[in-house]
């Protein structure tokens, strides 16, 4: 409903969600995500990770020397961040995902991972990320240029494999790029992550097979053309 409070990050900040990335296959997913993201980051940036209570990028960002703040929709979203919070290595603040409690250009980089496809007013979220970023916004999203194009038809199968999955929106690259361009951002860098569905890799449960399949897809150009989710970097014009 219009004006509803967005709290899509509560589920992705939970221990139940984290279990989807447990084991060697899950570790492969997270390592690939971290490598791609860090390669797009400017050095030693002030970073706002919106909806980052999942903690998937917290360690890699901090270890790379970035100054990290995490914004969650509720205080519950801080739970998986406690090791870094207790050590004083990051900051956490609860607030409205669509009305970020920060001034314009408060951070060098604004991130949002595992969030865009679950937020109904996703364009507003992009607008807020663009507002608070001084130079760079990085997001991930499932693309229609992949098997995600038939995600609705395959949802039952995916849920059977993952157990705790939830419906999600799938975007065309043009949709996302136009949303950034409307806010004065160029979108020059696009990094698709996996050619084969993540649910398939989880069903197989063999990291060696996952690595082999994805390496072959990368070498043949399939990942570049049809991979998902996409990590996209947008930079403020001028």
Could you report the per-residue pLDDT of 105-137, keeping only the tens digit for each? 999 999 999 999 999 999 999 999 999 999 999
The pLDDT score that the predictor gives to residue 188 is 82
The pLDDT score that the predictor gives to residue 149 is 53
Asked if residue 90 has pLDDT above 90, the reply is: yes
Q: What mean pLDDT value characterizes the chain?
A: 91
- Contact, 76 vs 108, CB < 8 A? no
CA–CA gap between residue 170 and residue 229 (Å, rounded): 10
Q: What is the largest CA-CA distance in the chain?
A: 47
The pLDDT score that the predictor gives to residue 154 is 47
CA–CA gap between residue 123 and residue 107 (Å, rounded): 20
Which of 150-159, 196-205, 214-223 is the least confident region?
150-159
- Contact, 54 vs 80, CB < 8 A? yes
The DSSP bridge pattern shows strands 46-50 and 67-72 to be parallel
**92, 95, 74, 73: which is closest to 83 by C-alpha?**
92
Residue 61 pLDDT class (50, 70, 90 cuts): very high
Which of 75-79, 80-84, 115-119, 158-162 is the least confident region?
158-162
> What distances in angstroms separate CA 191 from CA 3, 79, 84, one per listed residue?
32, 30, 28
Residue 210 pLDDT class (50, 70, 90 cuts): very high
Arithmetic mean of pLDDT, 193-208: 94
Give the domain ranges of the chain: 9-233
Asked if residue 60 has pLDDT above 70, the reply is: yes
Given this structure, which CATH class describes domain 9-233?
alpha beta
Q: How far does the chain reach from its first CA to its final CA, in angstroms?
A: 36
The pLDDT score that the predictor gives to residue 191 is 96
Alpha helices, DSSP H, located in 108-228: 122-132, 155-162, 173-181, 198-204, 207-219, 222-226
What percentage of the chain carries pLDDT values higher than 90?
A: 86
């Amino acid at each position: 409903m219009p004006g509803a409070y967005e709290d899509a990050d509560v589920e992705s900040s939970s221990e139940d969600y984290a279990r989807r990335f447990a084991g060697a296959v899950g570790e492969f997913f997270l390592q690939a995500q971290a490598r791609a993201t860090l390669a797009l980051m400017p050095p030693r940036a002030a970073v706002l990770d919106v909806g980052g209570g999942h903690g998937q990028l917290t360690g890699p960002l901090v270890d790379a020397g970035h100054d990290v703040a995490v914004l969650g929709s509720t205080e519950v979203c801080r739970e998986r961040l406690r090791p870094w919070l207790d050590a004083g290595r990051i900051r956490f603040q609860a607030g409205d995902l669509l009305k970020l409690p920060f001034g314009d250009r408060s951070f060098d980089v604004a991130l949002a991972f595992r969030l865009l496809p679950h937020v109904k007013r996703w364009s507003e979220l992009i607008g807020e990320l663009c507002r608070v970023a001084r130079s760079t916004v990085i997001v991930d999203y499932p693309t229609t240029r992949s098997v995600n194009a038939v995600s609705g038809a395959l949802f039952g199968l995916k849920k059977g494999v993952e157990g705790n999955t939830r419906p999600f929106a799938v975007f065309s690259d043009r949709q996302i790029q136009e949303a950034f361009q409307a806010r004065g951002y160029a979108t020059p860098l696009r990094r698709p992550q996996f050619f084969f569905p993540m649910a398939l890799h989880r069903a197989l449960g063999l990291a060696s097979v996952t690595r082999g399949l994805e390496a072959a897809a990368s070498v043949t150009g399939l990942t570049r053309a049809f991979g998902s989710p996409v990590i996209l970097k947008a930079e403020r014009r001028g």
